[in-house]
Structures are given as structure tokens and as C-alpha cells.
């Protein structure tokens, strides 16, 4: 039977012991949504397969990150909390929670006041805690939109706060998560200032800024070119942009022919970037890294019409896997050509906002209503299991595999699932 864990606050001196199994940022160490974990659960429900279940102090759509003996996760309280009176904006707080990795018990809970005014309402219960934290051996970094990028130490002390712009988007709010590169923490602040920022991890001082980041809700990804150089990739409306992540210099652009805003993050393999997005027309493409200037004619390898407007894909064994956000269709594309190897409707799937997770030879697709479809990671469609947690709230967060377990987050709970 699951153990329901209630809020407790305990501050301890803590130095993280980093391990290979850590999951320090959105979509994991390589930002690809791929885990080496084995023996993960494939079947569970509200009564079975739950190692522990934490009742969150507030809602949120961010994923947990895992460093050393801790889990870090964000939420919000005080305003526009589903199921409660709307409240007043002055009471809005974002929270960073530090949890015990084995038990899920809350070790400390640190609140950050919101810069006013904030968004009055957001669609689909996205809320005010959508960005997944990033963590290294010394600090945890949280992006809170208009309220800025905030760094904490591992005892919960706020170290610095940096501004990334104050614009608001009254439909969807903020979404992109911070990433780490060398001594920098990088943030896509398309909503807040149509800019990409890099801040010093120790001080919060701005190191570089790139403008023109329009209609981009995705989390940037640092990829390797064929010759081993780093490129920072950010899809925006109509283009993919590549930057030098250390200096902010723009390296190349590639037309996507996708007319929509860009929410999914890219994946990359062997010097090729794969991007999906949009609701109609061209919805996917592949482009070689390592170019200069406009590389549309020289480096764009293919475009396709199968994609997703929200959820990000995974790359595995020469194929790309993802679930369409609104149609509930699972896709497998041939990475070399973009050709659909299969497209199969997941049974009564509904909408899928969470990004795909590939682990243990399986792809996990989580729907907004709490069902998880487990599909074999191979180019022949095989549905292995359908799991139901529809009593657990709304599931927007991307699942995480760690410690031989699977972690799912709703707006009410954090679940630790085991075999």
C-alpha cells in the first residue's frame, strides 16, 4: 500500500554526493529524455506498484531533478490554485522543495515572492511553476518567469536572483527550464523578453544575451557537432537557431517551414538535430550541425508532416519516438528520412503534454489525465501496458527514471513507482 507523506520541514547541512544515476535537469543529463535505468515498473495503478506518494504543498508542472541523496522540485501556492478560491496575487509564492531521495520526505521548503503584477489566469491549469530546476554539485537553479532566475544552496539558502525580463503571456505563461554549461546557467526567456540569457552560476551576473527569441517555449539543448564542438540549439517560430553556448555568438540558422510557436525541445544524435512542432503542415525536420549562416539549403536533411505541438521526442537506435499532444497518436519515424515507420492511436489517450521518456527498452507516454502508455522501443508498434492514475490530478510533468524506479508528478502528488 502506498504511504501518503505529509509536509515536514527540516533543514540539514548537506553536501551532495554526485552519482552517475543523477538526473540534474529537464530530460536528464543529456537533455534527451533517455535513461540507462533497468528493471523499471511497467504496471501500476492507484493501489499497487507505488513505493511512496508525496502530497505536494501546491500544484506545479515541473519535473523533479535528482542529485546525490536529494530530489528537488518546485510548486506554487497562494493564487489560482485549482480547487481553491482564486485569492490575491500578493499571496502568490513559488517554492523549491528538497526531498529525501529514498523516502520522499520534505527536508525543507523555501518560498519566493512573485514580482507583481503576475498573470491573472493561465490556460489548462499550467500554473506558475512550470520550469524544471537544474542542479550541480553546489547549487540549485530555478526559473520563475517574470520573478527571475533564483539560485539556492543545498541548505535552502537563496544565493542570488537574476532578472530575465518582465513581459507576460496571458495564455500559457512561462515554460522553458534552465540548463547548465560550464560556469553558466542558460535560460530561454522568450516569453519574458524575447531573449536568451547566460548567467554566471556563482554570482548570477549576466555573461551574455541574445535577442530575437520569438514564440519559443522550449528548453535549449547543447549538442555536439561531428568535430566535437558545442552548439546551443533553440527552435523559434519558423527557424532553428544555433549559438556558441560560451559566448552567445549566433552560429547558424535553418528555416523549419513550421508556422507555429515552438514548444518541444530538440533531440540530437551524431551531429544531427531533430525538431518537431506545430499542428499542421510541416511539423518535423532534421538539420546537420556545424554550419555557418543560413544553412537551410546546405544542412537541412528532410522535413515531414508528422509532429507534436507540445511534447518532445526521444531518439533511439536510428528512430525518433513521440506522442502527438492532441491526437493521442504514437509515432516512430525513421531518423535518416523522417518517414513514419508507424503511427498508432493510443487507446483513448486524450492529450499528452509530458515529453517522452525512453528507458529500459521502453517509451513512456503520460497523458494529462494520468494514464501512462508503455510502448516497446522498437520500430514495430507494441503496446506493453496501460496504467491508470486518473484519481491523482492533472499530469503535465515529464516522467523521470532513477534508482530503478519511475517518478510521475501531477498537480497534487509526486509518485515513486516500483516493480
Residue 173 has pLDDT above 90, yes or no: no
Q: What are phi and psi of 299, to 5 degrees?
A: -120, -15
| Sign of the four-CA dihedral 131, 397, 275, 22 | positive
- CATH tag, 4-417: 2.130.10.10
pLDDT digits (tens, 9 = 90+) for 265-289: 999 999 999 999 998 999 999 999 9
Lowest mean pLDDT among 57-66, 91-100, 118-127, 183-192: 118-127
Q: Is the pLDDT of residue 6 over 50?
A: no
Residue 17: per-residue pLDDT: 54
- The residue among 25 and 83 whose pLDDT is bigger is 25
Average pLDDT, stretch 50-74?
A: 97
* 8 Å CB contact between 213 and 237: no
DSSP state of 39: S
DSSP designation for 168: -
pLDDT at 123: 79
pLDDT tens-digit series, residues 10-50: 334 455 555 668 999 999 999 999 999 999 999 999 999 99
Distance CA 352, CA 397 (A): 10
pLDDT score at 121: 81
HSE on the CB side for 300, CA within 13 Å? 20
Does the pLDDT at position 1 exceed 60? no
The neighbour count for residue 187, using CB atoms within 10 Å, is 28
State residue 2's pLDDT score.
Answer: 41
Contact 246, 182 (CB under 8 A): yes
Is the peptide bond prior to 305 cis by the omega test (within 30 degrees of 0)?
A: no
172 pLDDT band, cuts 50/70/90, is confident
- Whether the CB-CB separation of 204 and 149 falls below 8 Å is answered with yes
Of 177, 261, 259, nearest to 221 by C-alpha is: 177
The confidence score (pLDDT) of residue 264 equals 98
Model confidence band, residue 126 (pLDDT cutoffs 50, 70, 90): confident
Would you report the helix, strand and coil content of the chain in percent, each value rounded to 5?
Answer: 5, 40, 55
**Nine-digit cell at 264?**
518541444
Cβ–Cβ under 8 Å, residues 278 and 258: yes
Residue 164 has pLDDT above 80, yes or no: yes
Per domain, the residue ranges of the chain are 4-417
Amino acid at each position: 500500500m502506498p504511504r501518503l507523506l505529509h509536509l515536514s520541514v527540516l533543514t540539514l547541512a548537506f553536501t551532495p554526493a554526485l552519482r552517475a544515476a543523477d538526473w540534474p535537469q529537464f530530460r536528464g543529463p543529456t537533455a534527451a529524455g533517455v535513461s540507462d535505468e533497468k528493471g523499471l515498473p511497467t504496471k501500476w495503478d492507484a493501489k499497487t506498484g507505488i513505493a511512496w506518494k508525496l502530497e505536494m504543498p501546491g500544484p506545479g508542472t515541473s519535473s523533479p531533478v535528482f542529485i546525490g541523496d536529494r530530489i528537488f522540485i518546485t510548486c506554487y501556492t497562494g493564487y489560482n490554485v485549482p480547487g481553491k478560491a482564486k485569492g490575491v496575487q500578493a499571496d502568490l509564492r513559488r517554492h523549491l522543495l528538497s526531498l529525501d531521495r529514498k523516502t520522499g520526505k520534505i527536508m525543507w521548503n523555501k518560498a519566493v515572492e512573485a514580482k507583481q503584477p503576475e498573470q491573472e489566469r493561465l490556460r489548462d491549469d499550467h500554473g506558475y511553476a512550470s520550469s524544471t530546476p537544474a542542479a550541480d554539485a553546489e547549487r540549485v537553479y530555478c526559473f520563475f518567469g517574470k520573478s527571475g532566475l533564483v539560485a539556492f544552496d543545498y541548505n535552502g539558502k537563496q544565493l542570488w536572483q537574476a532578472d530575465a525580463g518582465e513581459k507576460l503571456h496571458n495564455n500559457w505563461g512561462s515554460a522553458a527550464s534552465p540548463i547548465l554549461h560550464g560556469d553558466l546557467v542558460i535560460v530561454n526567456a522568450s516569453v519574458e523578453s524575447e531573449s536568451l540569457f547566460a548567467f554566471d552560476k556563482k554570482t548570477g551576473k549576466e555573461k551574455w544575451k541574445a535577442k530575437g527569441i520569438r514564440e519559443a517555449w522550449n528548453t535549449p539543448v547543447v549538442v555536439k557537432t561531428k568535430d566535437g564542438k558545442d552548439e546551443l540549439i533553440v527552435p523559434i517560430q519558423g527557424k532553428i537557431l544555433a549559438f556558441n553556448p560560451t559566448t552567445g555568438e549566433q552560429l547558424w540558422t535553418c528555416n523549419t517551414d513550421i508556422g507555429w510557436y515552438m514548444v518541444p525541445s530538440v533531440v540530437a544524435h551524431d551531429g544531427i538535430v531533430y525538431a518537431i512542432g506545430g499542428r499542421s503542415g510541416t511539423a518535423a525536420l532534421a538539420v546537420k550541425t556545424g554550419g555557418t549562416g543560413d544553412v537551410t539549403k546546405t544542412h537541412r536533411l528532410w522535413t515531414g508532416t508528422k509532429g507534436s505541438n507540445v511534447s518532445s521526442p526521444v531518439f533511439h537506435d536510428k528512430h525518433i519516438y513521440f506522442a502527438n499532444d492532441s491526437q493521442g497518436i504514437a509515432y516512430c519515424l525513421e531518423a535518416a528520412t523522417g518517414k513514419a515507420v508507424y503511427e498508432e492511436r493510443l487507446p483513448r489517450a486524450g492529450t499528452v503534454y509530458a515529453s517522452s521518456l525512453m528507458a529500459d527498452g521502453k517509451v513512456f507516454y503520460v497523458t494529462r489525465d494520468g494514464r501512462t502508455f508503455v510502448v516497446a522501443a522498437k520500430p514495430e508498434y507494441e503496446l506493453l501496458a496501460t496504467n491508470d492514475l486518473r484519481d491523482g490530478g492533472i499530469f503535465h510533468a515529464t516522467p523521470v527514471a532513477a534508482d530503478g524506479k519511475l517518478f510521475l508528478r501531477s498537480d497534487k502528488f509526486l509518485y515513486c513507482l516500483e516493480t
